[in-house]
Chain A
């Protein structure tokens, strides 16, 4: 099953200027709130100890309040909150810089339950795995193909809902290379839990290499098994949902498969991408992601192996 992962998606381990701005504010807020909690706890504990009923305890004092105290503990919190608001306003500005543009670098379309990743400027289409060059601030447009989803990669950016009928925009940037875990964070139906994604930040030259490879047509299958697999792909209506560039298969109902073999995960994070897992997935999608729209094609063992052989050529 998926994993083992070595890293977390820890909000307080930011890897971008935006996430860092939010993280700083978050830590500051937690400290402030922690101090308030400590104060209240101490006040309550002190009362419990000092004023508990015990032999010889004095009569309780029948007092009714103090205007002065009320003023203090109304005004002081207001002042503190004003300060917090000021910090907040600044962090909103730096944590979520303006991103709405006419020609975004990335267009992400959220589907139940996978991510369509489109690079408009180069025409590359990918799925579930987002490669970005380190150090560049990319403009991302987010759209939904069906219900409300949410794009959340805690170490890089705020989360932002993906609302059908209301495109949203985000700036995505990574300071250093690495794999940053993301997930859909708005309940979107049966397989919401397995609508995960990864943002892979690469040094700009490596990213350029990756982009080139993505644009290129996949190598034609050479082994007899793979050739048979390609035929099965055509016959068994895979093309009705899945695109493979430079072939007749061009639908986007399911994830683009042009370079599926090169991805790290399958089924939006439900499986690690190995030939064995790919075969298992094709054999019975419901075993790993029940409710997903991938049908069980009832493939024979032979056909299955051939198809896997073909798909493994799509690097």
Chain B
């Protein structure tokens, strides 16, 4: 029997927990490292599931007028693919990284609320299970939700979606939302209240900073979704009228409320990814991040602005040019702080000494792919362009460039970077390079051509399409790319499995990095810093320790 003692320095509480080694101890664990790993594993599982849903969709779309799946099934596939990737993959992956890393990076022993941490994870998993249970419901009233991941009304109302799928969708998201909110509250409290002495807010590692800003955003906008879901459920189950135009309700109200949540949600899916890049690029360039204050400040600007752009999802609704203009201007404005980041990351590399580890390669891939996605986003801010390209495959291309080319690439970068810390072993760089290049080719093959399909008039969310010139070849190409992408994920899984068993021992700091998580063992001990936290006098504590003659403080003074 192994006793896992929760450190007693958490506000005078002591709850030593006797736990068996093995699986069961994980279920009862409130250790942020274990909860973090569970977040990552759970989300990766859903990533595979969501990816399979996508592959099924791409098979259906490989040729025109295909009969691989019925339209009812296809519509469930794309609804569940979107819902899964947003709520059960990207957000939990980022939260998982935050949960694991934030206490370590600020020199704390755990999150502010360890039990809330565990609860948040399990509630989110419960929500995911409930959502997927809908697939198992059969009969006339059965099936998964099929109204799209943003479930526009009145299509999502009982009259037009009579299966229980949308109810499962709403209830699942409510549960998942509770988990996400709990995690966010925990992250804010941890980052604000548990920092090691010397670690002022201005010295926070950028990953922590961006996660912190992100957590505030979650606290503000998750309840907006909850309100929308609750109103939809009341409409459906209690025969109310919020979103039923035929009875005086408003279909537009749903869109406003959903996107008031939905747009900040996409920033919630990218800000911590920005944080990962901000950690990885400096380390593998051998120099500090360029323009720390500007990268940090631009994050806050993005968070604020993200609350003011939601109706750029509604340019086609016909709300009037003045209305459209306001949101267009705000949407263009948000491109500026994002651009500032791209320039700062690039400038970080200049006069550095670049090490092309797999982690760095994914970070570089991110820079280019996310720039493409961000620029196509600027195209959408141009209202007349949006009038043509929204709801077409051009927007499908855009979202995948920012969410896959952006967030997923950053996540892969983070995995290759922090896997040694988490497991004590290095991932294979050989397999990593294969993984990276297969991903780059597969991803671009799948999605670049979709920009063209959109311009040729192919709408989104169609289970099939007519044999218009070029559509068949382009769709087939996209499908081939998707399978290549799936294969690349397989390589990644093989890398994980092999390296966990026989990977090279990592040591405390295999990358020569500078933030506090590298000042302890790999993996860290239960209480994180058994030998104490190094002194913090700057943004790179380990750099300062290794170079006492030219600490960051001194260098900054010299630079003036």
Instruction: Give chain A's interface residues, CB within 8 Å of chain B.
Output: 1-12, 21-22, 25-26, 29-30, 33, 36-37, 40-41, 43-44, 47-48, 51-53, 57-66, 69-70, 73-74, 77-78, 81, 84-85, 88-89, 91-93, 95-96, 112, 146-148, 150, 152, 154, 158-161, 163-166, 168-169, 181, 183-194, 196, 269, 290-291
Q: Is the Cβ of B462 less than 8 Å from the Cβ of A193?
A: yes
Question: In the complex where A62-B288, A189-B160 touch, is A73 in contact with B252 (Cβ < 8 A)?
Answer: no
Query: In the complex, what's the smallest C-beta–C-beta distance from B361 to chain A, in angstroms?
Result: 10
The contact sample of 27 A-B pairs, CB cut-off 8 A, is A5-B468, A7-B469, A9-B456, A10-B455, A22-B387, A26-B379, A26-B388, A29-B378, A29-B385, A33-B375, A37-B371, A37-B375, A47-B346, A53-B355, A57-B353, A62-B555, A65-B294, A70-B344, A77-B336, A81-B332, A85-B329, A89-B325, A148-B152, A148-B154, A154-B457, A186-B316, A194-B464
Which partner residue on chain B sits nearest A269 by CB separation?
B466
- Determine whether the beta carbon of A187 is less than 8 Å from that of B155: yes
| Pair B555/A183 contact, Cβ less than 8 Å | no
Contact between chains at A81 and B335 (CB < 8 Å): yes
Interface size on B, residues (CB 8 A): 94
Query: Which residues on the B side are within 8 Å of A163 (C-beta)?
Result: 245, 251-252, 317-318
**Beyond A30-B379, A44-B364, A190-B146, 20 additional pairs, beta carbon < 8 A:** A2-B65, A9-B468, A37-B375, A40-B342, A40-B368, A44-B349, A48-B349, A53-B353, A58-B353, A64-B290, A95-B384, A158-B388, A159-B387, A165-B246, A166-B245, A166-B318, A169-B318, A185-B460, A193-B459, A290-B70
Chain A residues in 8 Å Cβ range of B353: 51-53, 57-60
Partner-contacting stretch, out of B130-138, B217-225, B389-397, B499-507: B389-397
Q: What A residues does B389 contact at CB under 8 A?
A: 11
A148→B314 CA distance, assembly (Å): 12
Q: Looking at the complex, which one of B364, B384, B552 makes contact with A158 (CB distance below 8 Å)?
A: B384
Q: Please give me the residue from chain B that is nearest to A84 by CB atom.
A: B382
Separation of A119 and B367 alpha carbons in the complex (Å): 53
Give the complex CA separation of A142 and B411 in angstroms.
45
Q: Does B356 contact A (CB under 8 A)?
A: yes
Cβ A159 vs Cβ B391 within 8 A: yes
Please report the C-alpha to C-alpha distance between residue A74 and residue B337 in the assembled complex, in whole angstroms: 7
CB-nearest residue of chain A to B346: A43
Q: How far is the CA of A192 from the CA of B350 in the complex (A)?
A: 50
Q: Which residues of B contact A88 (CB under 8 A)?
A: 328, 382-384
Q: Is B376 an interface residue (CB 8 A)?
A: yes
Q: A44 vs B468: C-alpha distance in the bound complex, in angstroms?
A: 38
Decide if A63 touches B351 in the complex (CB within 8 Å): yes
Report the separation of the CA atoms of residues A6 and B470 in the bound assembly, to the nearest whole angstrom. Answer: 10
Which chain A residues border B152 with CB–CB below 8 Å? 147-148, 186-187
B354 close to A (CB within 8 Å) = yes
Which residues between 286 and 314 of chain B lie within 8 Å of chain A, taking CB atoms? 286-288, 290-294
Q: Which residue from B317, B367, B467, B559 sits with its C-beta under 8 Å from A64? A: B559
User: In the bound complex, do residue A164 and residue B467 qualify as a contact, i.e. CB atoms below 8 Å apart?
Assistant: no
Contacts of B466 in A (CB 8 A): 1-3, 5, 196, 269
Contact pattern, B 458-479, Cβ under 8 Å of A = 1, otherwise 0: 0111111111111000000000
Contact of B339 with A73 in the complex, beta carbons under 8 Å: yes
Shortest Cβ distance from B318 into A: residue: A168
Residues from chain B with a CB closer than 8 A to the CB of A62 are 287-288, 550, 552, 555
Decide yes or no whether B72 CB sits under 8 A from chain A. yes
| Contact B467–A2 (Cβ < 8 Å) | yes
Q: A9 CB to closest chain B CB, in angstroms?
A: 3
A99, closest chain B residue (CB): B318
Most buried by A among B246, B372, B388, B559: B388
On chain A, the residues within 8 Å of B352 by CB distance are: 47, 51, 60-61
Report yes or no: B387 in contact with A161, Cβ–Cβ below 8 A: no
Q: Chain B residues with Cβ under 8 A from A37's Cβ?
A: 371-372, 375
CA distance A89 to B455 in the complex (A): 22
Q: A3-B468, A22-B384, A40-B371 are in contact. Are A64 and B462 (CB under 8 A)?
A: no
Tell me how far the C-beta of B452 lies from the nearest C-beta in chain A, rounded to whole angstroms: 10
* A291 pairs with B160, CB closer than 8 A: no
Bitwise interface map of B from 139 to 160 toward A, beta carbon under 8 Å scored 1, else 0? 0000000111000101100001
Q: Please, which residues of chain B bring their CB within 8 A of the CB of A192?
A: 75, 459, 461-463
Residues of B within 8 A of A185 (CB): 316, 390-392, 459-460
Q: Which residues of A contact B383 (CB under 8 A)?
A: 88, 92
Q: What's the least CB distance linking A6 to chain B, in Å?
A: 7
* B197 within 8 A of partner (CB): no
B368 touching A41, Cβ below 8 Å:
yes
How long is the Cα–Cα vector from A189 to B66 in the complex, in angstroms? Answer: 18
B349: which A residues are within 8 A, CB to CB? 44, 47-48, 51
A288 to chain B, nearest CB (A): 9
**A-B complex: 8 closest residue pairs judged by Cβ atoms:** A9-B457, A165-B245, A158-B387, A60-B286, A193-B462, A65-B291, A3-B467, A47-B349
Instruction: Please measure, in the bound complex, the distance between the C-alpha atom of A112 and the C-alpha atom of B465, giving whole angstroms.
Output: 17
Docked pose: A9 CA to B458 CA in angstroms? 8
A144 nearest CB neighbor, chain B only: B245
Beta-carbon contact of B321 and A44 below 8 Å? no
Smallest CB separation, B492 vs chain A (Å)? 23
CB neighbours (8 Å) of B9 from chain A are none
